[in-house]
Amino acid sequence: MRTTVLTWSLIIAVVCSAQSARAQGQDWLGLGQSPDGWQSSDGSGDFADDPDISADAPSFIRPRYWFLPPKFETYFQADVLYLARFSDAGQQPIAVDLSSNTTVMSTNDARLSNTWRPGMMFTLGVNLDQIAQVEATYWGLNTWRNGASVNIPAPPPLTGRLGLAGDLQTHTTDFEFADRMSIDYVARMNNAEINYKQMINGVTLLGGVRYFRLLETFDINSQSASFGTSSDYNVTTVNNLVGAQFGLGYTQEMGPLNIGILAKIGPYLNAVHQSTLLQDFGNSLTLRNYSKDGMPVSTLGEVQVNALYRVTDWLSVHAGYRFFWIQNLALAPDQLDLTNSAVGTKILNSHNHLFLQGFNAGAEIRW
């Protein structure tokens, strides 16, 4: 009980001191993105009688002041970013019960959608003047993983009852009459971008370049009931999107609280790569080993809504929501070929799409 009272007392003291510091020093309410001390909106100076300037909207600044030097030249943001996928590869049967020819496992059993995964987001920015800034952003380290397994043992002298869903199984040892089959699906993504931004009277214009990478692996492991050996059918895809983006946004400033929305979209060249490795008889025999590259044109769009609360002139906290749509991607399960195609046949399906949504929360310091 004493610890609880002490904790709340400290929290109240910190909040009160922050409010007191804000009341005593109003420089952070000045014009522009990071005003200098002489631009404070405390009722003094050359701007006090200007009807086009409001302390409630410090980004509202007349053109004659646009290119004045900022008070804070640099800022840094660190966030925790939770992302969820809500789209998947096309559903495809993986394993069948040979006694009834019914599907007992599909790619849908290892779907990655509707699962939240944490990552990090970092932004380093430089204010060029009162309206312009250049910032570099990285987010990533989000990893999704899911799997499934089917086990149908058969008593001797019967053999296993599992097999691949296509006719490929008839040309293998470990993928036909198996007693156990499992699938494992892993996806990782990273994003880096550099943008030039201008915020004039609350309206944000953005232009920049972006790199987005999606790496996926899908593995089928099957164990022969007759020999006890297990082998893998592994597919890996890498999507490397590089392109330009353009954005438009608006920010409403209400004293220390800022609420804004920003939309970005652009065309991207996707240097996509897929590799397939199918082995048999305890992974001692290679049946397929090939790769294929492509360069589809993709579209990446993002919408973000953010709320920022400035605690002091150099420290703020913020939270936001983000939505992503990415077109023309190669997802690993879509590259599977369970037919008895000729050795060396190369498949590249790079026409899927991905939807992501996420929440971020963090802090910003500027100096």
Domain termination site, one of 51, 70, 89 = 70
Could you tell me if 86 and 62 lie in one domain?
Answer: no
pTM: 0.83
Q: Average pLDDT of 88-117?
A: 92
pLDDT digits over 312-324, tens only? Answer: 999 999 999 999 9
Domain span at residue 14 reads: 1-70
pLDDT digits over 208-257, tens only? Answer: 999 999 999 999 999 998 888 999 999 999 999 999 999 999 999 888 99
Q: Is the pLDDT of residue 66 over 80?
A: yes
Q: Is the pLDDT of residue 352 over 90?
A: yes
- Asked if residue 160 lies in contact with residue 154, where contact means CB atoms within 8 angstroms, the answer is yes
* Cα 43 from Cα 59, distance rounded (Å): 17
Could you tell me if 291 and 340 lie in one domain?
Answer: yes
Instruction: Kindly write down the DSSP assignment for every residue of 280-319, as one continuous string.
Output: ETTTTEEEEEEEEEE--EEEEEEEEEEEEEESSSSEEEEE
Could you tell me if 241 and 272 lie in one domain?
Answer: yes
The pLDDT of residue 67 is 87
Per the structure block, which two tokens stand in for 146? 């899911």
The pLDDT of residue 16 is 47
Could you tell me if 42 and 191 lie in one domain?
Answer: no
Could you tell me if 76 and 66 lie in one domain?
Answer: no
Who has greater pLDDT, 365 or 130? 365
Could you tell me if 298 and 348 lie in one domain?
Answer: yes
Could you tell me if 279 and 324 lie in one domain?
Answer: yes
Domain termination site, one of 12, 46, 70 = 70
The pLDDT of residue 226 is 83
Domain termination site, one of 70, 91, 121 = 70
Could you tell me if 56 and 129 lie in one domain?
Answer: no
* Cα 214 from Cα 272, distance rounded (Å): 10
Number of domains in the chain: 2
